[in-house]
Amino acid sequence: MSEQTTYGPLHGGADPEPIRFLDEAGAYAPSATAAEFADELSAVGIDDFKQWYRDMVSTRAFDTECAHLQRQGQLALWVPSVGQEGCQVGLGRAAEAQDHIFPAYREHAVALIRGVGFLQIAAQFRGLTHGGWDVTDPAHGNFHLYTLVLGAQTQHATGNALGQLLDAKRRAGDTSMDAGEPGTATGEATMVFYGDGTSSQGDANEAMIFAASYQTPEVFVVQNNGWAISVPVARQSRTPLYRRALGFGLRSVQIDGNDPLAAYAVGRRFLREARTGGGPGYIEALTYRVGAHTTADDPTRYRPAGELEAWQQRDPIARFEAHLRTLGIDDAFFEEAREEAEREAKRVRDGILSLPAPQPGSMFDHVYSEPHPRIDEQREWFERYESSFSEGSAE
């Protein structure tokens, strides 16, 4: 993976090999760094693997459909996740029901796994809502809203994890939280997603400081996809990103982000350690953004020749499919999974075009929880003004 991490000589010695179980062709060939995580995979069966595969192809089909919808003017913007399905599915499946997940804005596969419908995601990008799903509904798996301001969600996640910690302390009758004290078992954890560009934001760095300070039950996941719009990761950092987290005092590793087995195994280990008082961890997933940052940019203007093709050789779906074939899964399953994914994408297409626009007056509805005279006055005026047109047309 040297293409995207062309750093100079590193202080403190060379980096270990990224953790991976599948080689680039999808053969099971664990790296030396993977050995200590191998037992995390012992409970994963063939049916789980099949589900992971369905998650990945469903997300890609949805993603492709949304890019088309945007090109046809039906979505205001689209943020593709193509190429990043491997780490998203592994990490999403590693979380337990009680865990909370704070996404950035391209964690479509994680959203799917946690029970948020694709249609609800697409609705935000069609401009029908700024949120889209009810995070308080257990059916949505504690999957929080997308956050478009880079890194803001890292702090919300840390606050949420701090709350998990304080809840556990209250249950235990522990009223103190002193500097340097060991972690507290919470039974639940928080996982937050962001990207290599966001790693430069102050908020993301402050979040790590707070997490380390209070030993929050939290896992930071950085999907290093090589590019922050047009700016390469080498412009963001002179060291691999996982090394920064080490400096904040977090357990930190680098994984092959196109290997769902590595993402699952490391995610499961880090989340369990967080839940049991081991404090926060940090996972840098080396992956690649196959598409544009959003449908608004043009990667052909900034990507070096050959880079995309090199990464397409490591496509997470193709690798995982090759692995499943070695486990004896045959064509029929893959065909059926792809067909189902296409049907689901079609349902999104049909559904998104028929979703109603929000009620015009709804913009006033939830700004405040308690009466606010200015909002109330403006809502009344707005309703009078708007209704004056319908009265006019009725005449």
Partner 1 sequence: MAADERVLLMGEDIGPLGGVFRVTDRLQADFGSARVLDTPLAEAGIVGSAIGLAMRGYRPVIEIQFDGFIFPAFNQIVTQLAKIRARHDGRVDMPVVIRVPYGGHINSIEHHEESPEAYFAHTPGLRVVAPSTPNDAYWMIQQAIASNDPVLFFEPKAKYWQKGEVDPAAPAAGLHQTRIARTGTDCTVVGHGAMVTTLLQAAEVAQSEGTSLEVVDLRSVSPIDYEPLLASVRKTGRLVVAQEAVGNASIGSEIAATVAERAFYSLQAPVLRVSGYDVPFPAAAVESLYLPDADRVLEAVDRTMHY
CB of 23 to partner 1, least distance (A): 39
Distance of alpha carbon 92 from alpha carbon 75, whole angstroms: 26
CB of 162 to partner 1, least distance (A): 6
| Ramachandran assignment for 279, one of left (phi > 0), alpha (psi -120 to 50 degrees), beta (any other) | left
Which is closer to partner 1, CB of 4 or CB of 155?
155
CB of 281 to partner 1, least distance (A): 18
Which is closer to partner 1, CB of 84 or CB of 142?
142
Distance of alpha carbon 189 from alpha carbon 170, whole angstroms: 16
Instruction: Say which residues have a Cβ less than 8 Å from residue 332's Cβ, sequence separation at least 6.
Output: none
CB of 236 to partner 1, least distance (A): 19
> Under a CB-based contact definition with an 8 Å cutoff, are residues 160 and 190 in contact?
yes
CB of 99 to partner 1, least distance (A): 13
DSSP codes joined into one string, 217-228: SEEEEEEE-SEE
Please, what sign has the CA dihedral across residues 61, 67, 71, 73? positive
CB of 356 to partner 1, least distance (A): 15
CB of 214 to partner 1, least distance (A): 8
Site of interaction with partner 1 (CB under 8 A): 129-131, 134-136, 144-145, 147, 149, 152, 154-164, 166-167, 169-170, 174-179, 202-203, 206-207, 209-210, 213-214, 365-370, 372-375
Pairing of strands 281-286, 100-102: unpaired
H/E stretch holding 191:
strand 190-195
Q: Which of 212, 221, 154 is nearest to 183 (CA)?
A: 212
CB of 271 to partner 1, least distance (A): 17
Q: Reduced to 3 states, what is the DSSP secondary structure of residue 334?
A: helix
Residues 179-211, buried b or exposed e (16+ Cβ, 10 A)?
Answer: eeeebbebebbbbbbbbbbbbbbebbbebbebb
Distance of alpha carbon 281 from alpha carbon 300, whole angstroms: 35
Which is closer to partner 1, CB of 280 or CB of 316?
280
- One-letter amino acid at 395 equals E
Query: How distant, in Å, are the alpha carbons of 12, 81, 385, 391 from that of 203?
Result: 26, 23, 42, 50
CB of 206 to partner 1, least distance (A): 4
Residue 31 structure tokens: 């790296």
Which is closer to partner 1, CB of 67 or CB of 162?
162
- Rg of the chain over all Cα atoms, to the nearest angstrom: 22
